[in-house]
Chains A and B, each alone.
Chain A
Amino acid sequence: MSTQESIAKDGVDAETVDAVKTVGEKYKYGFATDIEMEYAPKGVNEDIVRLISSKNEEPEWMLEWRLDAFRRWEKMTEPKWAMVNYPEIDFQDIYYYARPKSMIEKPKSLDDVDPKLLETYKKLGIPLSEQAILAGVEGAGDTPVEGRKVAVDAVFDSVSVGTTFKKELAAAGVIFCSISEAIKDHPELVKKYLGTVVPPTDNYYATLNSAVFSDGSFVYIPEGVKCPMELSTYFRINAENTGQFERTLIIAEKGAQVSYLEGCTAPMRDENQLHAAVVELIIQEDADIKYSTVQNWYPGDENGVGGIYNFVTKRADCRGDRAKVMWTQVETGSAVTWKYPSCILRGDDSQGEFYSIAITNNMQQADTGTKMIHLGKRTKSRIVSKGISAGKAQNTYRGLVSIHPKAVNSRNYTQCDSLLIGDKCGAHTVPYMECRNNSSRIEHEATTSKVDDEQLFYCRQRGMGEEEAVALIVNGFAKEVLQSLPMEFAMEAQKLVAISLEGSVG
């Protein structure tokens, strides 16, 4: 590729080029699976909403809920305040429902799942089998941790393909299944919590999601239970012209604990595809949820053709005292990202943390950040955001810290750093800080700089290629965030940093 040529031109030896090559692989999740699909007609209207509901064999109340949302959505307009530019989306030119034909009859167990689907996940590095090994992400295999298990829910276009370790989790009292199953099997829980954190009226994309979500994951950790293994959902968009609208609902009862991972990829396609998810977390007294995302949707090519529009609403509600939530995100993919995982710190002494790495290269645009709403006494929040911008990309941190009058003795610390690689990109910071009592303290620091020439030279002098050196420095820059990831994700993320920066120098 042009990158290698340009490096070679600079007189760097072949070894360096090789080193860079191994670090910087192309987007390798860009293959498509050739599989027979069943689609709903293109576009969205009440009939499509009814169709999705009936495909999922939903009860009447769920359909009504969706229709309500749809009617509201029709009256809403797309938000325009984010620092992102993209052509008008034709919401009637998208398939809102696509499922592999083999999934029409739901397989009884993973053994019955279409081998092509299993093969797809295998290729992505997600073995959908219940081996007692470290599954979930690639690169983890190098350092297996004895007996560590990760349960996976695999969502392929509009449906969940299967969920592993269900029985073992059930023995611990944990419910982990697709949300479509949860609506059927645990309607009382879904009814009680769905839409209570992100109401169907919340924002344009969340409202659309409420109307047309097709699947997603559901997790319920009962009182006092520490989830015996990490849970993860792997989202894959495969079909063309298809939007993915998944819905995730996680409930941690009093004293419960869970660590949840989420990964996303899509094939390389020339058209843009829409992904509008909603994630709701409910955290009761003394409960603790760790939610990690490695978002690696197809970002489009270097000219900005194709890629996913990633418009996501994620929110955690710390309802009980001492509830804790930690969002960690590594955002390397998508053509456009619009995403603000938030924490409502309602319970006294509750805590919210947000760690983010957002890397944009080529023509990518990201407008991402968080909201920390301090309502309870002595609530604490911490924000660490690292934005890296290369190529012609635009990267914006947007965040709100709001400390209400009654949230006495609360604390926020925000560190928000941007790194620019090359002079065609942009890095922006738009924080909002609202402090409404004096026993609380807000501290916000932000810096913008470029990769330090001396550091770069030092690395090069020690024999690193320029891209490798940049990747190394960027990994150092983002270290605080990488450290907050579960170990196996951290390794994946480090590699992703290198991959997504390919072509950013030279």
Chain B
Amino acid sequence: MGEVKRENLAEALLARHSAPRSGAGWALSARRAARDRVLALGAAGRRDEYWRYTNPAALNGAEAPDVEVLQLDETPVFDGVEKLLITFVDGVYRPDLSDDLQGENLEIMTLEEALEVDIHWASDLFGVFEARGQNPVPRPFAALNTAMAGQGVVIRANGKVTKPVALRYCRENRQSDVLLHHVIRVESGAELTVLENGAGGARLNTVMEVDVADGGSFHHLRAQGRDHTRLAITHIFARLGAEARFKSFTLTVNGQLTRNEVVLDIDGDDTKASVAGACLGDGDFLHDDTIFVTHDARDCESRQVFKKVLKNGATGVFQGKILVKADAQKTDGYQISQGLLLDDDSNFLAKPELEIYADDVACSHGSTCGAVDENSLFYLMSRGVPRKQAQNMMILAFLDEAIAEIENEELAEDIRTRLSGWAERHSA
């Protein structure tokens, strides 16, 4: 009985978007395959092991919620850095609000264009990484995205790209239900930084497929929009070659529901990867990081660093896994997830997993949850720092291990400023 319902729900998911009709052969077949995956996987349900802490109902719902468009008078995140700006408004590429799609060592075009090209490198990635990432944990919203998304960017870095590519997601429509799909390839020895910023839609579903070739380096920094009741489900699927570098950091402030999934496959030796996030939630807020890192090569290092500050009934979820395959000797895997509960109504739910089949490894994970340490608070106050300010200092100190994962100090400082802004605004 339950299964039938699930399939119906999967069909309903597909029915709520209209898929682009045209495209090159490979694009059409990738979409068709994704459509079949959605139906085969069924919709996400509360009884699924990886949805036990997050109710997918609002993401499964037929319509996006009506979300007030937040008007901010402060400058957007990353505004200060020199960048190549690409703007999407309610999920639609806006050339008028974007820079020219060109840059040194950079090939860049919209997804719409790329999917029309008969022979395109993106055909090796589009829907391919997502499909691979469905096992062993099903991710139906990602398959839905591949099947239905018509907008996004396709980026290829052929060398060192000095200016970050900044994707800005604006919204004007109160009920926009947005799908964005990006395909990124960092060639051997190339370097690329991608920034993402903004809520993008009342309900946003993004997929980013990233291939980092041997010796390539990819940095990703994201600030998800502050619109209070927005929903977001995001996926990053990345494959890392030998001696590659991968860093992704996400800042989440507000939003009713956010689920960020990252699926990393470390394929080549001597690679280093880091996935980190800081989130701040006040009130009706659920924030879920679901991370799956697979080590399938020697001498690699991966880090997962997630910190969540929660108050007024906010819920933080962390599900992280390090899988070390038998041949991935000398793996160094580190994972930390911590919840800081500012009051008695908030929840922190964590499932940090290790699955290890190689013996010469050093893997560790730690997870803690609790209130601001009273001793430290007293120490600060005894030196004359008022309670509110002392607590804010403790919040920032708590988050700092995650911020420290950001490669670029200037961007990290920008994030710190946002965080202390939140702490100020929300300290009662």
Task: Mark A residues whose CB is within 8 Å of B.
Answer: 81, 405, 408, 418, 420-450
Contacts and interface: CB of A to CB of B under 8 A. Distances in A.
B329 A423 contact: yes
Contact of A405 (B339, B344, B351): B344
A446 B368 contact: no
Given A434-B350, A442-B369, 6 more contacts: A429-B352, A429-B355, A433-B351, A433-B369, A434-B349, A447-B362
B349 A448 contact: no
B9 interface: no
B371 A434 contact: no
Contacts of A444: 350, 352, 365-368
A445 B365 CA distance: 6
A427 B356 contact: yes
A25 to B, nearest CB: 25
B356 A440 contact: no
Contact of B354 (A81, A424, A425, A446): A446
B24 interface: no
A435 B347 contact: yes
Given A426-B356, A446-B352, A81 B367 contact: no
Contacts of B128: none
B350 A433 contact: yes
Contacts of B364: 445-448
28 contacts: A405-B345, A408-B344, A418-B354, A418-B356, A420-B358, A421-B359, A423-B326, A425-B357, A425-B359, A426-B355, A426-B357, A428-B353, A428-B356, A429-B353, A429-B365, A431-B350, A433-B348, A433-B349, A435-B348, A435-B349, A435-B369, A438-B343, A438-B346, A441-B371, A444-B366, A447-B364, A448-B361, A450-B360
B79 interface: no
A441 B368 contact: yes
B356 A430 contact: no
Contacts of B350: 431-434, 444
B283 to A, nearest CB: 15
B361 A450 contact: yes
Interface in B263-321: none
B363 A438 contact: no
B341 interface: yes
B370 interface: yes
A441 B374 CA distance: 12
Contacts of A429: 352-355, 365
Contacts of A424: 326
Counting chain B CB atoms within 10 Å of each CB, which of A432, A435, A438 scores highest?
A438
Chain A to chain B: the 5 pairs with minimum beta-carbon distance, closest first: A438-B341, A441-B370, A420-B359, A435-B369, A429-B354
Contact of B353 (A430, A438, A450): A430
Contacts of B370: 435, 438, 440-442
Nearest to A441: B370
Contacts of B339: 435
Q: What's the dominant secondary structure at chain B's contact region? A: strand
Contacts of A423: 326, 329, 358-360
Nearest to A448: B363
Number of contact residues on B: which range applies? 35 or more
B366 A445 contact: yes
B342 interface: yes
A73 B377 CA distance: 54
B3 interface: no
Contacts of A440: 369-370
B49 interface: yes
A428 B321 CA distance: 10
A442 B351 contact: no
A424 B356 CA distance: 10
B280 to A, nearest CB: 15
Nearest to A402: B349
A429 B355 CA distance: 6
A439 B368 contact: no
Nearest to B318: A433
A424 B359 CA distance: 8
A361 B352 CA distance: 25
Given A423-B326, A447-B363, A437 B341 contact: yes
Nearest to A434: B349
Contacts of A443: 366-368
A438 B358 CA distance: 38
B354 A428 contact: yes
B401 to A, nearest CB: 15
Contacts of A425: 357, 359
Interface in B9-49: 49
Contacts of A441: 368-371
Contacts of A447: 362-364
A440 B371 CA distance: 7
A450 B370 CA distance: 32
A435 B348 CA distance: 5
Given A423-B329, A433-B367, A449 B361 contact: yes
A30 to B, nearest CB: 29
Contacts of B49: 81
A449 B343 CA distance: 37
Nearest to B315: A436
A430 B355 CA distance: 8
A444 B369 CA distance: 9
Contacts of B366: 443-446
Contacts of B342: 438
Nearest to B354: A429
A442 B368 contact: yes
Contacts of B352: 429, 431, 433, 444, 446
A438 B372 CA distance: 9
A450 B369 CA distance: 29
B334 to A, nearest CB: 10
Contacts of B363: 447-449
Contacts of B358: 420, 423
A438 B370 CA distance: 5
Contacts of A435: 339, 341, 347-349, 369-370
A213 B121 CA distance: 64
Contacts of A426: 355-357
A431 B349 CA distance: 11
Interface string B355-399: 111111111111111110000000000000000000000000000
